[in-house]
Amino acid sequence: MNLNETPERVRWVTFAVLVVVTVGLLIVDSTGSLDTALSFLEDPISAVMGWTAARTDVLTSALAGPRDVREAQAEIERLQAQVEAQQREIEELREIEGEYQLLLDLLNRARETPEFTRLTTQIIGRDTSPIFRSIIIDKGSDDGVFVGMPVESARGLVGQVYRTTAHAAQVLLITDNISSIPARLGSSRATGVVRGGGLGGSMTMDWISLEAQVQPGEVVLTSGLGGKFPQDIVIGRVIDVDRREAELFQSVVVQPAVDFDSLEVVFVITNFRVIDTTIFDTPPGGEPEVEEP
C-alpha cells in the first residue's frame, strides 16, 4: 500500500460522499420533506413531541368514540320525544279545530231557520242490530224530547225520534228500511217519497211523475207534507235515475247528505210549523152537513 496515495483517496471519497448527500437533499427537497427534516435537526425534541401528540390525538379520539355515540343516541332519543310530543299537540289542535267547525256548522244551520226550536244533543250510542239503523242520544222525555220529533245535523236530515226514556232517546235513521219521508226535488220540483234501503241498501225516491226531467246531482229536500218533518231540510242528492216509459212513475237513487258514521252532535227539532193537509183527506162533498138550529 502506497501511503502517499492515501490523502488523494480520502479527498475523492469525501467528494463522492458530498455529491451523494447533495443529490439526496435535492431529492428530499423535491418531495417537500426537507423542511421537516431540517426542523427535526434544529429541534429534535419538539419534532418527537409533535409526532407523539398526533398519535395521542388519534388514540384519544378512538377512546372517546363510544362516548360520542352514546351522547348522539341520547340526543336522538330526546329529539324523538320532542317530535312525538309535537305530534300529540297537532292531533289535539286538529280535534279542537274539528269541534269548532262542527259547532260553527250547527250555529249556521240554526241561523238559517230561526223559526225552528232546537235541542242540541250528543250521540252516546249506535244500534248494533243488522236490521235496524238507529242512534242513541243523551236527551229524553225529561228534556222535552218525544216520539216523532225530527232530528237533523248541520248537513241535513238524520231521522226521527222512535223511542224515549227519561234521559235518552232512540232515533230511527232515514236510511232504515222502514223510514218513509215525503220529499221533493230541488230543481225539477217533482215530489215523491224517500225510503231507506236498510243496512247496505240504497235510499230511493219513488212515485216521481214521468213528466219530471230529473237529473243526477239534484238536491232532495223534505216537502213538509204529512206534518212529520219541516219542509226544505236537505236529505241528499240524486245519483241515479230509473226512468221507464212503460211504468207510471220513475224513481231515483239518493245519496244521503249526512255521514252517519261520523255523527257526534245532532239537533232535535222540538217545534216547527206543520203544513196541515188533513182537510184534503175528505173527498169533496163528503163533509157532513150542519143542521141549522
**pLDDT value at residue 114:** 75
Residue whose entry in the numeric block shows the C-alpha cell 150542519: 290
Residue percentage of the chain with pLDDT more than 90: 41
Average pLDDT (265-288) is 69
**pLDDT value at residue 172:** 95
Residue 232 domain boundaries: 119-276
Q: What is the DSSP string of 104-148?
A: HHHHHHHHH-TTSEEEEEEEEEE---TT--EEEES--GGGT--TT
Q: Which pLDDT band, with edges at 50, 70 and 90, does 85 fall under?
A: confident
CA distance 135 to 162: 10
Average pLDDT (240-255) is 92
pLDDT in tens, 22-70: 666 666 556 655 555 555 455 555 555 565 666 566 556 655 555 677 7
Average pLDDT (218-239) is 92
**pLDDT value at residue 4:** 55
Please check whether residue 25 lies inside any domain of the structure: yes
The residue ranking higher by pLDDT, 138 or 113, is: 138
Q: How many domains does the chain have?
A: 2
Please check whether residue 166 lies inside any domain of the structure: yes
Please check whether residue 72 lies inside any domain of the structure: no
Specify whether 33 is located in the same domain as 136. no
Q: Is the pLDDT of residue 251 over 70?
A: yes
Specify whether 29 is located in the same domain as 148. no
**pLDDT value at residue 292:** 44
Q: Which CATH number does the domain housing residue 194 bear? A: 2.40.10.340
Amino acid in position 33: S
**pLDDT value at residue 49:** 57
- Say how many C-beta atoms besides its own lie within 10 A of residue 207's C-beta: 15
Please check whether residue 92 lies inside any domain of the structure: no
Specify whether 123 is located in the same domain as 38. no
Please check whether residue 133 lies inside any domain of the structure: yes
Please check whether residue 193 lies inside any domain of the structure: yes
pLDDT in tens, 150-162: 999 988 999 999 9
How far is CA 238 from its chain centroid?
Answer: 26
pLDDT in tens, 195-221: 998 877 789 999 999 999 999 999 999
User: Hey, what's the torsion of the CAs at 209, 210, 211, 215, to 10 degrees?
Assistant: 100
